[in-house]
Chain A
Amino acid sequence: MTALASPRTPVLASARRGLSARAGSTPGRLTGLLVVALLLGLGFGVAAVSGVLQRSGLVDDVRTRSGPLTVQSQQLYRALSDADATAATAFLSGGIETPAASRRYQKDIAAASKALATTAGSGGADADAVEQLTTQLPVYTGLVETARVYNRQGLPLGAAYLREASGLMREKLLPAAQRLYRAETAQLADDRDGAALFPFVAVPLGLLLLAGLVVGQVWLTRRTNRLVNPGLLAASVAAVLGLLWLTVSWGALAADLRDGETHGSAQVQTFAQARLLALQARADESLTLVARGNGASFERDFQRRMTDLVGRDGKGGLLGAAYDGADADMRRALDGAVADVAAWRGAHRQVRALDDGGRYPEAVDLAIGAEKGSAATAFGALDDRLGGAIDAANGRSGRAADAADGTQTGAAVGLGLLTVVVVVGAAVGIQRRAAEYR
């Protein structure tokens, strides 16, 4: 803005010098009008352009920083929960773990490490959580590998290492991942709110400018009997255009961000939370069987998470509440998820009935088998569906942020140029009238 202001400074200075002497006369008033118009014009320009730059910066943060980091932290949380559930289930199957379970675990650890590296590299929103995760994740994998070695030797010591690993996961890693996810989500919401903030300095200044220009015009018309002052007219038109550009581009940006929030992030939040509940319930289901008749506390955890997920009647809970204000996409995903949960609960009841009835091997088969109707199949369907819904909602959130970014294209330059037109138009128009009095 200094580039715009500096050539005008001599005009301003001379105007100020003459101000007191000529204040009462028409030329004095003209100079006063000029000063007011220039100040308001420049003020509006500075406020509008800097506001646009700030908004663009925050939208850019949403697009390239807090948005992706939220996705990363959520993937980290999910990958860790999945690793825990997979390790518990693999233990149940007996013998060496299946290739599918081993691949899934490795994928989880790779995904977690990658997400953690990305988060750490860009300075995660919760440095303490990041530190805890980076220091403890290798410890966790070390314990799991030790457990695997002892399992392969047929020694019960492996189970003890697995318990220690799972304890570390549940007591330290998962809570840290959750803290990180919450911090990143809060950061994203802050950036979004900041970007969508109404331009409450620039718009009032613009309205004042416009009012000043109109009043000046009317006054000049009365004084000089000339209908139109082309300079002031140009300045007024430019001021109107500037105001329109500013408010419309802000409105579009806020709408896009709101869209990204309701059709993107809010859905991601719901589905990600649902997926974590499902994963933890799956781990509980496996651990109930691992504990072999001594897993009442895990079974209670399972039931608690199911109630959190869909309520006691299968229609409430997190998923039931998410129907409020859900769009068509979300409704479809919710319908599917609720049906998957119902199927899983049915399978789980059978698993428990078999185990409680002393038919442990059949219970294990039904819990981890790949056949239709098994708890593993129902859980897998639910997990895939929620994963798909999360990816879709993340996509919508990202696209909305891109669109919001698009609304600010050219706004800074355009508003800058319009400001020049306002300033020059007002200066030229008023100077001409003033010259007639010399």
Chain B
Amino acid sequence: MNGRVTVRRIVAALGVAALLAAAAGCGSTELPTSRQAAGPPRPAGVQDPAKVPAAPGDDTSCGDPLASYRPGSLPSPGHMPAGSTMERIRKRGRLVVGVDQNTYLFGFRDPATNKIQGFDVDMLREVSRAIFGDPDRIQYKTITSAQRIPVLQKHDVDLVADVMTINCERWKDVAFSTDYFDAGQRVLVLKDSTATKLGDLGGRKVCAAKGSTSIRAIAADPAKPVPVAVDDWTDCLVMLQQRQVAAISTDNAILAGLAKQDPNTKVVGPRFTSEPYGIAANSADTDLVRFVNGVLAKIRGDGTWKSIYDRWLTVLGPAPSPPAARYRD
């Protein structure tokens, strides 16, 4: 009996020793080399550093990019000219548009109602109202910034209204309406940041959406911030909240929407670019662009533009007067 107990003790002691040795072995080999990265994962599709498109220089090949096709008189809803793009849309029964569902205040999905809404969306609803007499004859296709031009070129959608800056480079691929909103690039940082402009963010990561004009402005800053590109603007805010980037830099209008979702952020610095927004269409659909310009001219004049601004954008201050239209013929 006694002998057995002793044997058991020895066995137990040996077992414990073996376990300790194994544990020590694990400790010394595995813990330091653990390959699991601590901290949050990155949003799907992130580019760090961003691929920056070749600098356009100041592309002035199109003359005045803000000059769009001059509208004729607006046909009454439901009576589009035969053979026109608008008539094709009317026959189809719905206007197909490309919008963003992640740009708060301009084009976003309300998680409570599943409805797409915002300033850009209301512009398109006015176009639908002019074609059908009903603002809701719209099929929304949600797109990322990088998809705005391809979906138009493939004619997947009739129109795109998605915080899209009008410039000569894009005029080569698509046609723009007149300017319906004037934005300009600024910087969004966390409240505890001391940075007040891109120049203070040299070597730090600054986020913007892929295919946006903002990415170039970040890359072009002489202080050399590191541009990081994501699919959607809200992905930038996720990364800022998780401190994976130091700042977000894009149009003040988009930043205002992001800042409104997180009160621990602030928009800083001056507007250092000018970003006029236009509604884009396939280059061939000039009749549709003229029609849209007619709609825009109407809502600038009759107070609709101001009421839409007041619905969404008071966070940017009181409604300015709508941007003036400029035309080419």
Contacts and interface: CB of A to CB of B under 8 A. Distances in A.
B109 interface: yes
A155 B41 contact: no
A258 B234 CA distance: 55
A82 B96 CA distance: 34
B185 interface: no
A352 to B, nearest CB: 14
B36 A154 contact: no
A291 B144 CA distance: 10
A161 B44 CA distance: 11
A324 to B, nearest CB: 39
A172 interface: yes
A171 B44 CA distance: 9
A139 B39 CA distance: 8
Given A95-B112, A95-B113, A164 B36 contact: no
Contacts of A128: 35
Nearest to B232: A160
Interface string B4-35: 00000000000000000000000000000011
A159 B234 contact: yes
A107 interface: no
A425 B147 CA distance: 90
A358 interface: yes
B299 interface: no
B305 interface: no
A128 B110 CA distance: 40
B142 interface: yes
B112 A293 contact: no
A143 B42 CA distance: 11
A292 B101 contact: yes
Contact of B139 (A136, A157, A291, A358): A358
Nearest to B113: A94
A158 interface: yes
A245 interface: no
Main secondary structure of the interface of A (DSSP, over half): helix
B238 A94 contact: no
B170 to A, nearest CB: 20
A292 B104 CA distance: 17
B111 A161 contact: no
A119 interface: no
A160 B238 contact: yes
Interface string A85-117: 000000110110000000000000000000000
Interface residues of A, number: 37
B40 interface: yes
B67 to A, nearest CB: 31
A135 B141 contact: no
A413 to B, nearest CB: 21
A265 interface: no
Contacts of A139: 40-41
B44 A157 contact: no
B171 interface: no
A164 B139 contact: no
A158 B111 contact: yes
A132 interface: yes
B43 A160 contact: yes
A160 B237 contact: yes
Contact of B104 (A131, A132, A155, A161): A155
B235 interface: yes
Nearest to A165: B41
A163 interface: yes
B250 interface: no
A158 B44 CA distance: 15
Interface string A134-168: 01100100010000001110111111110110111
B143 to A, nearest CB: 6
Given A135-B36, A156-B261, 4 more contacts: A139-B40, A164-B238, A167-B43, A171-B41
Interface of A: 91-92, 94-95, 128, 131-132, 135-136, 139, 143, 150-152, 154-161, 163-164, 166-168, 171-172, 291-294, 358, 360-361, 364
8 contacts: A94-B113, A95-B112, A132-B36, A150-B111, A154-B110, A159-B102, A163-B232, A292-B101
Interface of B: 34-36, 40-44, 93-94, 96, 101-104, 108-114, 116, 139-144, 147, 232, 234-235, 237-238, 261-262
The 5 closest A-B pairs by CB, nearest first: A293-B141, A167-B44, A160-B234, A358-B139, A94-B114
